[in-house]
């Protein structure tokens, strides 16, 4: 783990998650095992969104004039957009952008769809691939040029309060989702120079990767009425006047998969939280010459009783030595392995091994071992969550002066400090330290320091916020 980057690249290959040898930089192939992991990660997210969002699917291509309509937005993406210029041999009379994100694909249609206040609020999402010509160092799942798992939600509201409320809703959804993945997170309001192009403000979730760098794993943007005015999205109010709508959008990507792999993995391989593990239980029959038949039958019985409780179970009855099977089980990160040999059979017992802490537990096959296993899943989730939250919280150090920021960062810390909130001061802080300001903490954040009467760490003016800074991906 000393060299996280090397470890990360190795595990993507050894655990057959993706094949990054695809001949376009920043684009990789989802291999079967990785594809299943991705599927089981997307599933709980869609379940949360499906409570009150409608899933849609918009075209991949956006006409150039639509993309360009919102000046600040297009400015923010002009260096990242891929273009389609030809249809076969013919040059297109209008260039088509390949969506880097879908505001400019969706909002001309929202303008047609929104008529009256009774149409509102509208809440849509789609899980699509988007394309960004990233010029910084690309890295599989973390900084890619084809974002294969881009979940983008876009909502439309009659009032400012509606949009503000939706931002809080989106934050709740993301917290619940990241808790399912047992991923720790910091929530910051991004500095204005780092908000989403065209947004009023951006709330961002960052997680801490094992190398001490933070990774932005999700963002929630309050778009105010900016895009509504640009794309003429108006509605008839109850008093038959017309008003522009208020909007939000919130997105996450392949990075959440990268964080599950990177944060929970260890030297032996993947370590997956039970809720999203493609394979939750791996049964390994220990077969000797005699008694092999009965062992296999018992294992089949255990497998079907687990599967009838919707526990995703596999059995490794290949004719290879158990050690190799244990090695592969550790690499693939399935939360529980069950070993059963002829002796266990006689005593009607089996041995469970937890992947999260390698603890061995003996179960009585006469008992209700299925509920026992479901309880163990809960314990594993709690254990994994507590472990990583503790590790992240231990990495957050507050400072009263910028002088020691760099050694704290070298020590893989996230630094909290008192800030006046002024843009030029913030930019100087980033320049001096060459470290990014993640943003400000809300009053109710656990990381909020007691700032009344305190001074800004740099300019000495009245301290208004607790801010965090870290080395970022």
134 lies in the binding site for ligand 5CA (CB under 6 A) = yes
Select from 251-259, 281-289, 332-340, 459-467 the region that touches Zn ion (CB under 5 A). Answer: 459-467
459 lies in the binding site for Zn ion (CB under 5 A) = yes
Q: How near is the Cβ of 308 to ligand 5CA at its closest, in Å? A: 38
Question: Which lies closer to ligand 5CA via its Cβ, residue 78 or residue 400?
Answer: 78
Select from 29-37, 165-173, 246-254, 379-387 the region that touches ligand 5CA (CB under 6 A). Answer: 246-254
456 lies in the binding site for Zn ion (CB under 5 A) = yes
243 lies in the binding site for ligand 5CA (CB under 6 A) = no
Site for Zn ion in 412-441 (CB under 5 A): 420, 425
Identified binder of ligand 5CA from the candidate list 38, 132, 157, 413, rule CB under 6 A: 132
156 lies in the binding site for ligand 5CA (CB under 6 A) = no
62 lies in the binding site for ligand 5CA (CB under 6 A) = no
254 lies in the binding site for ligand 5CA (CB under 6 A) = yes
Q: How near is the Cβ of 44 to ligand 5CA at its closest, in Å? A: 17
Q: How near is the Cβ of 472 to Zn ion at its closest, in Å? A: 21
The alpha carbon of 399 is separated from its chain's Cα centroid by a whole number of angstroms, namely: 29
Identified binder of ligand 5CA from the candidate list 70, 152, 206, 356, rule CB under 6 A: 152
Q: How near is the Cβ of 5 to ligand 5CA at its closest, in Å? A: 16
Our CA dihedral for 175, 176, 178, 183, rounded to 10 degrees, sits at 90
Question: Which lies closer to ligand 5CA via its Cβ, residue 81 or residue 249?
Answer: 249
Q: How near is the Cβ of 285 to ligand 5CA at its closest, in Å? A: 41
Q: How many residues bind ligand 5CA (CB under 6 A)?
A: 21
144 lies in the binding site for ligand 5CA (CB under 6 A) = yes
Identified binder of ligand 5CA from the candidate list 126, 148, 155, 216, rule CB under 6 A: 216
143 lies in the binding site for ligand 5CA (CB under 6 A) = yes
418 lies in the binding site for ligand 5CA (CB under 6 A) = no
Q: How near is the Cβ of 471 to Zn ion at its closest, in Å? A: 21
Q: How near is the Cβ of 95 to ligand 5CA at its closest, in Å? A: 21
217 lies in the binding site for ligand 5CA (CB under 6 A) = yes
Question: 3-class secondary structure for the chain?
Answer: CCCHHHHHHHHHHHCCCEECCCCCCCCCEECHHHHHHHHHHHHHHHHHHCCCCEECCCCCEEEHHHHHCCHHHHHHHCCCCEEEEEECCEEEEEEEEECCCCHHHHHHHHHHHCCEHHHCCEEEEEEEEEECCCCCCCECCCECCEEEEEEEEEEEECCHHHHHHHHHHHHHHHHHHHHHCCCCCEEEECCHHHCCCCCCEEEEEEEECCCCCEEEEEEEEEEECHHHHHHCCEEECCCCCEEECEEEEEEECCHHHHHHHHHHCECCECCCCHHHCCCCEEEEECCCCCCHHHHHHHHHHHHHHHHCCCCCEEECCCCCCHHHHHHHHHHHCCCEEEEECHHHHHHCEEEEEECCCCCEEEEECCCCHHHHHHHHHHHHHHHHHHHHHHHHHHCEEECCCHHHHHHHHHCCCEEEEEECCCHHHHHHHHHHHCCEEEEECCCCCCCCCCCCCCECCCCCCECCEEEEEECEC
Select from 85-93, 264-272, 395-403, 450-458 the region that touches Zn ion (CB under 5 A). Answer: 450-458
The alpha carbon of 301 is separated from its chain's Cα centroid by a whole number of angstroms, namely: 37
18 lies in the binding site for ligand 5CA (CB under 6 A) = no
CA distance 1 to 268: 11
CA distance 155 to 305: 43
439 lies in the binding site for ligand 5CA (CB under 6 A) = no
219 lies in the binding site for ligand 5CA (CB under 6 A) = yes
370 lies in the binding site for Zn ion (CB under 5 A) = no
Question: Which lies closer to ligand 5CA via its Cβ, residue 255 or residue 413?
Answer: 255
The alpha carbon of 50 is separated from its chain's Cα centroid by a whole number of angstroms, namely: 18
Which of ligand 5CA, Zn ion, none sits in contact with 42, Cβ below 5 to 8 A by type?
none
CB 103 within 8 A of CB 70: yes
CA distance 473 to 356: 26
Q: How near is the Cβ of 422 to Zn ion at its closest, in Å? A: 5
Sites of contact with ligand 5CA (CB under 6 A): 101, 103, 132, 134, 143-144, 147, 152, 196, 216-219, 221, 249-255
Question: Which residues make up the interface to Zn ion (CB under 5 A)?
Answer: 420, 425, 456, 458-459
């Amino acid at each position: 783990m000393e060299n996280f980057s090397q470890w990360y690249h190795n595990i993507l290959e050894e655990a057959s998650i993706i094949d990054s040898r695809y001949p376009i930089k920043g684009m990789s192939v989802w291999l079967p095992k990785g594809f299943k992991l991705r599927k089981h990660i997307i599933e709980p997210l869609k379940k949360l969104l499906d409570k009150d969002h409608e899933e849609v699917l918009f075209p991949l291509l956006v006409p150039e004039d639509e993309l360009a309509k919102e000046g600040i937005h297009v400015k923010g993406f002009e260096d990242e957009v891929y273009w389609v210029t030809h249809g076969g041999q013919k040059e297109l009379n209008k260039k088509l952008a390949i969506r880097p994100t879908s505001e400019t694909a969706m909002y001309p249609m929202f303008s047609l769809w929104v008529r009256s206040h009774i149409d509102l609020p509208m809440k849509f999402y789609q899980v699509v691939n988007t394309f960004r010509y990233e010029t910084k160092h690309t890295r599989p799942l973390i900084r890619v040029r084809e974002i294969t798992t881009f979940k983008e939600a876009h909502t439309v509201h009659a009032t400012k309060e509606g949009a503000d409320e939706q931002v809080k809703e989106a934050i709740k959804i993301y917290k619940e989702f990241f808790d399912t993945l047992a991923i720790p997170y910091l929530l910051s309001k991004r500095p204005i120079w780092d908000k989403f192009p065209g947004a009023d403000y951006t709330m961002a979730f960052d997680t801490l990767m094992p190398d001490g760098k933070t990774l932005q794993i999700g963002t929630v943007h309050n778009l105010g009425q900016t895009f509504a005015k640009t794309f003429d999205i108006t509605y008839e109010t109850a008093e038959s006047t017309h008003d522009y709508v208020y909007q939000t959008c919130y997105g996450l990507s392949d990075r959440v998969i990268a964080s599950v792999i990177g944060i929970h993995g260890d030297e032996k391989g993947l370590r997956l939280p039970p809720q999203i593990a493609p394979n939750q239980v791996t049964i390994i029959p220990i077969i000797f010459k005699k008694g092999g038949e009965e062992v296999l039958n018992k294992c089949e019985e255990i497998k079907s009783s687990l599967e009838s409780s919707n526990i995703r179970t596999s059995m490794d009855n290949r004719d290879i030595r158990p050690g190799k099977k244990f090695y592969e089980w550790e690499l693939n990160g399935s939360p529980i392995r069950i070993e059963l040999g002829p002796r266990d059979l006689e005593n009607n017992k089996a041995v469970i091994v937890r992947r999260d802490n390698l603890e061995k537990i003996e179960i009585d096959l006469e008992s209700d071992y299925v509920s026992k296993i479901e309880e163990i899943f809960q314990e594993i989730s709690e254990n994994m969550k507590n472990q990583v939250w503790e590790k992240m919280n231990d990495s957050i150090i507050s400072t009263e002066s910028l002088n020691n920021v760099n050694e704290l960062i070298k020590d893989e810390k996230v630094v909290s400090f008192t800030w006046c909130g002024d843009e030029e001061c913030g930019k100087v802080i980033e320049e001096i330290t060459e470290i990014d300001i993640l943003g400000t903490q809300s009053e109710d954040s656990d990381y909020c320091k007691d700032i009344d009467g305190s001074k800004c760490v740099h300019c000495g003016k009245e301290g208004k916020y607790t801010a965090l800074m870290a080395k970022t991906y």
